[in-house]
Each structure stands twice: as structure tokens, then as C-alpha cells.
Amino acid sequence: METITERSAKKTNGFLILVLFILLFAADFLLFLTAIKQHMPQLAWIIIPLTIFLSVSINGFFIIQPNDSRVLLLFGKYKGTVKDSGFWWINPFIKGRRVSLRIRNFNSEKIKVNDLHGNPIEIAAVVVWRVVSSARAVFDVENYEQFVAIQSETAIRSLASEYPYDTNEGEKESLRSSPTEVAENLRKQLQQRLEISGVEVVEARITHLAYAQEIAQAMLRRQQAQAIVAARFKIVEGAVGMVQQALQSLSEQKIINLDEERKAQMVNNLMVALVADREAQPVINTGTIYQ
């Protein structure tokens, strides 16, 4: 497939040509009045061609707004692109196609796909893009806006299959825990796919991420269980440190001398009091642990 290389089109300042047209129209009108008053039909050979020329040439005027462009075609041949804002005049036989260079958003629909582990998830993203090559957007793809939409959804599906929904043991990145890395990966994939259409991807980010309804409850219970286990682990880790510090303080300050059996009993009581999910009930021991 032939790839179009964008180039700047030749154009003329519209105000200068407008002044020239006004002068030619005035001259044409004076010739017309002279031909009528002085009965000079031979002037028609000048008046008629000049009138036709001016009538056709006036179609060469056009205006380019900021962040706008016009792709020019002359009998099917690409003649260049005009991106400079202002009032211009070109060959009136050239046809122009307007292409906006403004930044635009594409909000994808919620797509149901499988993540890296095969879990069905719902995902959606927003893509911020703009046209940087008007010629390629017009000539290299059929409809560049539709092309952006289709390729964006394809890239989102591909991205979802590369990451797990959430981080498991041994995994560093996931769709939920690494939004910055995932967004950058999505932007790069989109830029690679949309390069042919002359489109630049400014930003791409996930806007919706959730488990599919059929597994949402099961995954919620799994997340709750993982949270409980993690919390228990922290509690036990903290309790061990507190018990170790308590025994060390008692030994250093010589408050009480404990043998190994008494230490074991104290460790047991402290761990129960610190780790239990209920309030400890004090028990008064009037004897000893040996009776």
C-alpha cells in the first residue's frame, strides 16, 4: 500500500487576491457600461471571458481556523495540506477536505474480556487523541474516526489479557494495582496501531474495571479472605514483638525471675490477649502453675 507523505500546499494571501478581484470586477463592470453606451459589441470578447474567470476563481477563497487543516486535491492528485490559520486563495479547481487537528476523546463501551488468569472482567477506557498528519488520515484509512474507535477497543482487549485483575503471590503488576504502568502500555499499543492513520495518542487510561457479574461475589469473598489473612498476619507479627519486648524488659529490670515454664505460660497468656478477636477475661490465680 502506498503511504502518503504530508507536505505543505502552495497558497496565496486571500486579502491580496481579494483586492485584485475587486479591481478586476470594477474594470469588468466599466467595460460593460462602455460597451452599452458606445455600442461596442467587440468588447464582449473581453467582458465575457473575464466575467467567467472571476466567477470561477472566487471559489478559490477559503478560511483556516486555528487547529484546523485542509487537504487539497486536484483531479484526484494530492497537492498538499494547509495548516496555517488565516484567509487564503488557491486554484479554484482544487477540492479541499477539512480535517480537524483538535484534541478529541474516545470513550469506549464496557467490554467483557478475560484477564491473564482467564477470569471474566469488565473494562473500559478513555483515549485522548488528535490528528497530526491530515493526509494520512484522509488517504491511508477509509474513516479515521471509525478506525480509532475499532483499534482502541482491540487494544483494550489485548491489554486486559496481558495482566491479572489483581496482584497475586509472585506477581508485581496488575490492572488494579498498577494503573500508571497499564495506562502507559495501553498508550504505546494504541500509538503503534494508529500510526498508519496519522493519529497521535496523547493519553489512554482505564475508566472502568470490575469483575464480571457471574464471579463478582466469589471474587469479593476471596478478597475479603485475603484481607483478613493479611490483617491477622500483621497482628501476630506485632504481638510477637510485644511479647518479646515484655520478657526482655522484665529480665533487664529484674522485676521477676521466670523459668522456662513460667515464660511459656506468660507467652501463652500474652498471645491470647493480644491476638484474640474478643476482649480478654481476667482470671485471678490464687495458686501457682504447679498446683
pLDDT of residue 90: 92
Mean pLDDT calculated for residue range 132-145: 92
66-120 tens-digit pLDDT: 999 999 999 889 999 999 999 999 999 999 899 999 999 999 999 888 888 888 8
Q: What pTM value is reported for the model?
A: 0.69
Q: State CA 262 to chain mean position distance.
A: 64
* Structure confidence at residue 178 as a pLDDT band (50, 70, 90): confident
Mean pLDDT calculated for residue range 213-226: 62
CA dist list (Å): 69 to 85, 236, 280: 8, 66, 77
Rounded to whole angstroms, how far apart are CA atoms 43 and 31? 7
Select the more confidently predicted residue: 99 or 282.
99
Is the domain spanning 104-211 CATH 3.10.350.10? The answer is: no
- Does the pLDDT at position 285 exceed 60? no
pLDDT of residue 273: 63
CA-based nearest residue to 92, from 117, 66, 55: 55
Work out the angle between the directed axes of helices 44-57 and 14-37 (0-180°, nearest 10). 150
The Cβ of residue 126 has, within 10 Å, a number of other Cβ atoms equal to 15
pLDDT of residue 256: 64
Q: What are phi and psi of 119, to 5 degrees?
A: -80, 130
Rounded to whole angstroms, how far apart are CA atoms 100 and 70? 9
Mean pLDDT calculated for residue range 246-270: 66
- Does the pLDDT at position 275 exceed 80? no
pLDDT of residue 213: 73
Select the more confidently predicted residue: 153 or 167.
153
Give bridge partners of residue 95 from the DSSP assignment: 73
Select the more confidently predicted residue: 72 or 30.
72
